[in-house]
Structure formats: structure tokens, C-alpha cells
Amino acid sequence: MRFYNYQHQFYAGIDLHARKMYICVIDNLGKKIFHKNMDADPLHLMQALEPYKADIIVGVECVFTWYWMADCCEDNDIPFILGHALYMKAIHGGKTKNDKIDSFKLATMLRGEMFPIAYVYPGKMRAARDLLRRRQYFIHHQSALLAHIQNTNTQYNFPLFEKNILHASNRVNISDRFDNQFARKSIETDMALLDSYHRILLDIEADIRKQAIHHDPISYQLLRSIHGVGPILSLVILYEINDIDRFPGVGNFISYARLVKCSHESAGKRVKGGHNKIGNAHLKWAFSEAAVLFLRKNEPAKKMQQRLTSRYGKGKAISLIAQKLGRTVYYMLKRKELFDAKRFFKDSVHELAI
């Protein structure tokens, strides 16, 4: 975890909500010079910060409403940083907690160089990243609908479907299997939603592929060189990373992607796990998906999986392959190199394990 450690004349801690924001500005001696609850909009924000604009830093806890404030500060050349919510024990662990106290604590943490930093994702790519995340949400709903059709078919002990019902052409007349009008209606509703999701997903993917690959075409093509990683998965990884140079080392990257479990140590005693939700869940999903796709029609990868499975079990084997793919992606993007299968498979089972 990194902490903000630059000195300024003024420090602004803002407890931000959807409609209100409590602003606290302190000077470099820790004295409060502005402390007020205001409407959350750019006009009131700039009115409050204007007298201190020459040398001020604005800090906000990472909540869902921070986009507009980051853009407003960038437009007005005011440094803006996000505070990592899961590291702010001084805020959440207080005996008494309210917006006024929280805003002062944020400003004090900034001044005391104890403000934990989260990444401020660039505004130009933010909407495309969020659309990719929304697409993943729709995919999960689509999978739930398909599972419900399969489960309902099994409940009535009907024959298994001969073809993959993900494809609309294979879902024709499925509802005719059911004599009960309510069961038939349930299946027809599922299929209507599946058809809608199919059109929506195709439209989203077409728009993203048309525009997104122009943001970083080199990195996009590098990711496409990995076996099994298609255009959408490449874009998910690319947009969740944004800039590989923001990670000082490969360990920082795979930790951010939730591909390793960090140990806790105190008084010489070490324990596993803890705070596994810290990191990027979307990158974790992307590399887990990439590991499964990497094994398809890939004999060297299947042999690697068999060796790892014999030593660590099936679940751990997939996790280790996902972790190695994460390490590989880090160096590929750092060095601007295509995927090298020979280099990837030369590591032994012992080198893969952590």
C-alpha cells in the first residue's frame, strides 16, 4: 500500500455523498480554515477551493460518486487523489463517526502522509471500462437464464438437449416440451430474455471493439497473441490494467489481480489469507477465464496442468496457471513482446508454485 507523501500549503479532505459533500481545508500547520457541508456539484466545489487553489491537494475516499470530482479537479489543474476505502481504519474504526469528523480526518491524513492511495482511472477510458464491466454483468444474467432452462428440463425428467442452447437456433420449440402452461410460460420468458441479451451483447461488443482497440492497439495485439485469449477478454484485461507502468513490479501486479494470497505476520508468526477482497475482482475473473481457455486444444498446457494437478490438486493447478499468465502478461506489456510459448512452458512445477 502506498501513501501520499507530498507537502502542500493546504489540504482538503472531502466526505463525498451523492447529493452532499462535507469539505474540510486545513493548512500545513493543521489549522482548520474551511469546514462546511455543501451541495455536491462542481460550482460549490470550486467556490470552496478557489482561495487555496495555488497550492492545495484534494483527497476523497473511494466511493462510487468520485468521477465528477476527479474530472472537475483535472479541468481546474487541482491535484486529486483517491483514498483506498479498505485501508482507512481511522475513518471506519472511530468511536464517533459523522461527515464533519470524517472530512477532518481525511484532511489530517493527507497532511500527516498517512493517506492510502487508490488509482484514479483516466476519464477518457473510464466509460469504456465500465461498459465492459456492465457486459460481464449481463453475461452472468444470461448464464443464469440458461441454467434455469436446463434445471427446469431436468425437473420434469425430459431428455437432455442435443445441442448447446446458448445458440438461439438450438432453442426452437423447447417450450413445447412442457404441457403445464405455467412451466411453458416460464421457459418462454427465459428464452425471450435470452434473445434480448443476445442482441444487447452483440451491440455492446461491436461498439467496444470499434472504439476501444484504438486506445492502445499495440498492447491489444500483444494480449491477442496468447492462446485462447480472444478480443473481448483482451479488452477486459487491457482496460482493467490501463497502464502497466503503474505497477513497480510483477508482485504488485499479481497481488492487484488477486492471483496470490498474501500472508500476515506478527511476532515471527505467519498466517495465510486475510483481506482477499483487496484488489481487482474483474482482473481475477479475466485471468481465471484465460487459464481455462488457455488449456483448450493446447497439449503442452494440458501436460502442465496434469503435472500441477498431481502435486497440488485440480483447483490449485488452474490457479497456478492463471497466476503464471498474469506474470507473463505483466512482462509482455512491460517489454512490448508477443507471447512466447517456449519461455512460458520452460518453468518447472516448483517454479510455478508459491
The last residue of one of the domains, among 199, 215, 231, is: 215
Same domain, 41 and 106: yes
User: What would the pLDDT profile of 220-275 be if each residue is shown by its tens digit?
Assistant: 999 999 999 999 999 999 999 999 999 999 999 999 999 988 777 777 777 765 56
> HSE of 250 in the Cβ direction (CA atoms, 13 Å)?
13
Residue 68 CB partners (closer than 8 Å, separation 6+): 42
Least confident of 115-124, 183-192, 210-219, 284-293: 210-219
pLDDT at 353 over 90: no
pLDDT at 330 over 90: yes
Same domain, 229 and 326: yes
The last residue of one of the domains, among 120, 139, 162, is: 120
Same domain, 13 and 80: yes
Same domain, 203 and 226: no
**In this structure, what CATH number is given to the domain that contains residue 108?**
3.30.420.10
Same domain, 224 and 337: yes
pLDDT at 351 over 60: no
Mean pLDDT, the chain, whole residue set:
91
The number of domains in the chain is 3
Same domain, 107 and 154: no
Helices of type H across 156-280: 181-211, 217-224, 231-241, 250-256
Same domain, 62 and 179: no
pLDDT of residue 347: 61
| CA 242/CA 125 separation, integer angstroms | 8
Same domain, 289 and 227: yes
CB 102, CB 15: distance < 8 Å: yes
Range of the structural domain that residue 346 is part of: 218-264+273-352
Same domain, 335 and 260: yes
**Model confidence at 349, in pLDDT bands (50, 70, 90)?**
very low
> HSE of 217 in the Cβ direction (CA atoms, 13 Å)?
3
Same domain, 115 and 133: no
Same domain, 242 and 335: yes
Where b means 16+ CB within 10 Å and e means fewer, 176-207 reads eebeeeebeebbeebbeebeebeeeeeebbee
Where b means 16+ CB within 10 Å and e means fewer, 36-68 reads eeeebeeeebeebbeebeeebbbbbbbeeebee
pLDDT at 212 over 60: yes
Same domain, 229 and 159: no
| CA 217/CA 213 separation, integer angstroms | 5
pLDDT at 354 over 80: no
pLDDT of residue 350: 45
* More confidently predicted of 210 and 103: 103
SS3 (DSSP) at 21: strand
The last residue of one of the domains, among 86, 101, 120, is: 120
